[in-house]
């Protein structure tokens, strides 16, 4: 029997590109919580691409943006992502040997530059404020990822298998009650945590 219920209300979508609904100017910019990167599909639903947690929403998104623009993260085909197809067009320097990554990034920069902006333009970010401490936030992030991977394999096409979904040893904290401003595939209304 769950010991407590935690309400997660995912607001958004916020965006990396443009000033309208910017992740950097969101009302929750300084708040702690859990966030979802999604890609909106042609049917109006969103598919989860990444799950994270943070002590300060806008600050963490800035860190991610630096990694994307610096080609350290993988870059996905934006057009295909909007149809639920995960096609990596740049693996990211973090996946390359230290001596290969930077050299290849410089060589590929001109070709990849536009693709990076296309990728950023299709990313949507939903955020649920939760001031529960760092380790519990990590656990909640992991529970959402675990639930997506194990209970919704049809909805995890854009969520890379290499993304860690760690949880605490103790998994009987209670129940997550989840709402979202838009439909997100594989995000259940209730998830044990």
pLDDT digits (tens, 9 = 90+) for 155-192: 999 998 878 888 777 777 899 999 999 999 999 999 99
In this prediction, residues 87-108 reach a mean pLDDT of 84
pLDDT tens, residue by residue, 5-57: 999 999 999 999 999 999 999 999 999 999 999 999 999 999 999 999 999 99
Q: Phi, psi at residue 22, to the nearest 5°?
A: -65, 140
Domain count, the chain: 1
Radius of gyration of the chain (CA): 17
Produce one character per residue of 127-164: b if its CB has 16 or more CB atoms within 10 Å, e if not: bbbbeeeeebbbbbbbbbbbbbbeeeeebbbbbeeeee
The pTM is what?
0.93
Nearest to 175 by CA among 133, 147, 134: 147
Q: Is the pLDDT of residue 134 over 50?
A: yes
* Distance between first and last Cα of the chain: 11
User: With left for phi above 0 and alpha for psi between -120 and 50, is residue 158 left, alpha or beta?
Assistant: alpha
The sign of the torsion formed by the CA atoms of 107, 110, 111, 112 equals positive
In the numeric block, which tokens belong to residue 55?
């002590």
pLDDT at position 97: 62
Regarding beta strands 175-180 and 190-192, do their DSSP bridges make them parallel or antiparallel, or are they unpaired?
Answer: antiparallel
In the numeric block, which tokens belong to residue 37?
């990167």
Structural domain range at position 104: 5-192
């Amino acid at each position: 029997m769950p010991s407590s219920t935690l309400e997660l209300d995912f607001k958004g979508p916020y965006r990396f590109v443009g000033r309208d609904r910017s992740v950097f100017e969101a009302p929750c910019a300084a708040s702690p919580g859990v966030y979802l990167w999604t890609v909106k599909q042609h049917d109006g639903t969103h598919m989860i691409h990444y799950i994270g947690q943070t002590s300060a929403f806008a600050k963490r998104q800035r860190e991610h943006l630096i990694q994307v623009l610096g080609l350290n993260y993988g870059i996905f085909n934006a057009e295909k992502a909007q149809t639920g197809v995960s096609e990596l067009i740049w693996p990211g320097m973090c996946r390359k040997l230290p001596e290969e990554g930077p050299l290849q990034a410089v060589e590929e920069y001109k070709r990849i530059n536009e693709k990076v902006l296309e990728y950023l333009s299709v990313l949507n970010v939903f955020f649920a404020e939760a001031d529960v401490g760092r380790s519990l936030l990590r656990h909640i992030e992991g529970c959402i990822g675990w639930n997506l991977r194990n209970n919704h394999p049809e909805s995890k096409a854009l969520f890379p298998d290499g993304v860690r979904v760690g949880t605490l040893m103790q998994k009987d904290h209670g129940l997550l009650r989840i709402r979202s401003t838009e439909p997100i595939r594989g995000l259940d209304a209730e998830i044990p945590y």
